[in-house]
Chains A and B, each alone.
Chain A
Amino acid sequence: MSTPAQMAGKAMQQTTVIPRRNPNDARKERGFAFLMYAAVAIAFISLAALMIQIASDGAGALSWNLLTNFPSKINPATSGVKSALYGTVYLMILTAIFVIPIGVGSAIYLEEYADRRRWFNRIIEVNIQNLASVPSVVYGLLGLAFVVRGPLSLERTLLAGAITLGLLVLPVVIIVAREAIRAVPPSIRDGSLALGATKWQTIWKQVLPGSMAGIATGVILALSRAIGETAPLIVIGAAVSPRFLPDGLNSEFTALPVQIFAFSKDSDPQFLQLASATIIVLMVLLLAMNSVAIYLRSRFEQKW
């Protein structure tokens, strides 16, 4: 008795059942892989070049004083970004407070309550997708018309800035929160409801804990987008190089991107160097936030 493998061996000596590799295929294979490689290389090299450029321009101006001094329009040597750094941190916290409950609440409504057969729920869904791609300067104009002036009349305050940035990232927060909620399998909801939990208890004790890591990751990424935005803050009239810290919700404020913009408009090359140094500060802040998001995702994300 010969084993099937041996029989196959004999068969191969006699005839060629499987044709040789087509050299054309191999060429295409290599060519395609190279193109994909090139795409990654272009993306990576241009980003790296930008970073190196910024680092070499700004490194000279990086000092502890940059963080602890207020901006000066006259003397670049003593000029800092203290007010902008504080403004950015305050904006981020206030935006989070504004956007988390509204964003997560909307996501819960759309995922758990909305009847998709109803036309208005479908309209809401489509519009949220669209709103996420509206340019940020438009949100700035919205903030100017409705928050700074108009119905809310908050003037050019920290609160107005936070609300405007909140509106800007709200669609993104809703979308990521919906995805996280949708990732909780229906069998978990069934299991909870079958034990006599109400819908609210099921959402609060099963769905939200199960989607928390995804929601937190998405919110942090959305906030890091918010604090990098310049246009809406300039449109709503953030202060230029203020020499004071915001002392409340109704205080005037500035933020790092606005400060970068202010420095870069100056013709003195020393101020341009300050702009580069401030970009480094902002990038370190963004990198830190993204790292937290990545950590949360890898550490707490629920595998179903």
Chain B
Amino acid sequence: MKNMTEPAETDPLAKSASPDARGVDLTTAPDTPTITVDKNAEKIFDCKDVNVLYGGKLAVEGVEIPLLKGDVTALIGPSGCGKSTFLRCLNRMNDLIPGAEVQGSIVYHGQDLYAKEVDAVQVRKRIGMVFQKPNPFPKSIYDNIAFGPRLRGVAKKEMDEVVETALKRAALWDDVKDRLKDNAFGMSGGQQQRLCIARALATEPDVLLMDEPCSALDPISTGKIEDLMTELKERVSIVIVTHNMQQAARVSDKTAFFIVDLSAGENKRIGKLVEFAPTEQIFSNPKDERTEQYVTGKFG
């Protein structure tokens, strides 16, 4: 029986704080991440030495990931490893957090995303984002989809078509075509999340960032969203943060594995990239011991 005076669940980090039986230190990142993807393939994002600081404190350090066109890339790792923080660098959502600072280089189609002359608002028009919890606007289904296109100045008479196309791409058209004027709050959670995907697609992005998009959904809705990702990747590259390793294995082409590095001290948790490789390799034959320990469920 559990002794109730002890903390009931051990902190996963505390569990991983000691080196495992084979002497792999799971709380120290390698000096350089292992990257086994074709660096010459056509890249959408080329990230080098990316650091993220909150109020001067390092949160994510030294991320190097080439994100390839047409891929679904999964970012996995234990809580607090900085995968969501890194994802939010890619469409400059971190700009909105007071005190957040991004260092290093994130190059998008050859252009430095953080150059002075680059407008974050324009960045977000090309790089769509879907959040953890479905966040439809309190408007009709139609107006939810039309919000982005209206900002771009799409004419009223073309709007019906834009809305229909976006809903069809998100495999939602047949569900909602007869109730486009209904409030989006009346939809189920899974439908709301697909609406958010459709809403992002309506601005014609070439990348879709998904921050744990299925964590608030039931398995059937999750399955639908996963199928959708596979369909969408011909048109848009996808970067998905997920807690669910099976999901990463099912949907992604490449996987990046992050850990929480505690080597600077227990109070200095720094997210670091350990390995970036084709998903198959991450799950069957990872190069780094830490990756293997994580994907086989031995820590995290």
Q: How far is the CA of A209 from the CA of B143 in the complex (A)?
A: 13
A187–B138 Cα gap in the complex (Å)? Answer: 12
A117 to chain B, nearest CB (A): 7
| Contact of B91 with A194 in the complex, beta carbons under 8 Å | yes
**CB <8 Å contact, A195 and B93:** no
Q: Which of B131, B147, B199 contacts A187 (CB 8 A)?
A: B131
Contacts A115-B98, A117-B98; A195 near B135 (Cβ below 8 A): no
CB contact between B124 and one of A193, A206, A209, A210 (< 8 Å): that residue? A193
- Assess the B124–A195 pair: CB atoms within 8 A: yes
In the assembly, what is the distance between CA of A210 and CA of B147, in Å? 15
B184 to chain A, nearest CB (A): 11
User: B129 in the interface, Cβ–Cβ < 8 Å?
Assistant: yes
Alpha-carbon separation in the docked complex, A190 to B129 (Å): 9
Q: Does B273 touch A at the CB level, under 8 Å?
A: no
Complex contacts, B139 vs chain A, CB 8 Å: 209
Among A188, A196, A197, A201: residue with most chain B CB under 10 A: A196
CB distance from A22 to the nearest CB of B (A): 27
In B124-147, the 8 Å CB interface with A consists of 124-126, 128-129, 131, 133, 135-139, 147
Verify A193–B131 contact, CB threshold 8 A. no
Main secondary structure on A side of the interface with B: helix
Q: Give the residues from 189 to 231 in chain B that come closer than 8 angstroms, CB to CB, to chain A.
A: 196, 199-200, 203
Contact for A191 among B137, B151, B152, B203, CB less than 8 A: B137
Residues on the A chain within 8 Å of B152, using CB:
196
Binding site secondary structure of chain B: helix
- The answer to whether B135 touches A190, judged by C-beta atoms less than 8 angstroms apart, is yes
Chain A residue nearest in CB terms to B95: A193
Docked complex Cα distance between A190 and B196 (Å): 12
Nearest neighbor of B125 in chain A, beta-carbon distance: A196
In Å, the complex CA distance between A185 and B132 comes to: 14
Question: Is B151 within 8 A of A195, CB to CB?
Answer: yes
* Chain A, 277-304, CB within 8 A of any chain B CB: 302-304
| Complex CA–CA separation, A65 to B14 (angstroms) | 83
Q: B148 contacts the other chain (Cβ, under 8 Å)?
A: yes
Take A117-B98, A193-B93 as given contacts and tell me if A198 and B135 are in contact as well, using a CB distance cutoff of 8 Å: no
Chain A residues with CB under 8 Å of B138's CB are 188, 209-210, 302, 304
CB-CB under 8 A for A195 and B98, given A187-B133, A188-B137, A302-B138: no
- A196 and B148 form a contact (CB under 8 A): yes
Q: A197 touches which one: B128, B133, B151 (CB < 8 A)?
A: B151
Residues of A within 8 A of B126 (CB): 196
Check if A192 is an interface residue, CB within 8 A of chain B.
yes
Within 8 Å by CB of B131, from A191, A197, A206, A302, lies: A191
Interface flag for A205 (CB, 8 Å): yes
Q: In angstroms, how far is the closest chain A Cβ from the Cβ of B293?
A: 34
Within residues 81 to 122 of chain B, which ones have a CB less than 8 A from any CB in chain A? 91, 93, 96, 98, 121-122
User: How far is the CB of A301 from the nearest CB of chain B, in Å?
Assistant: 11
5 further A-B contacts with Cβ under 8 Å, apart from A194-B93, A209-B139, are A191-B196, A194-B124, A195-B151, A196-B121, A198-B121
Cross-chain pairs A/B with CB under 8 angstroms, 5 sampled: A187-B131, A192-B137, A196-B152, A197-B121, A303-B185
Which 7 residue pairs of A and B lie closest in terms of their CB atoms, listed nearest first?
A196-B125, A187-B135, A194-B129, A195-B148, A191-B135, A196-B124, A302-B138
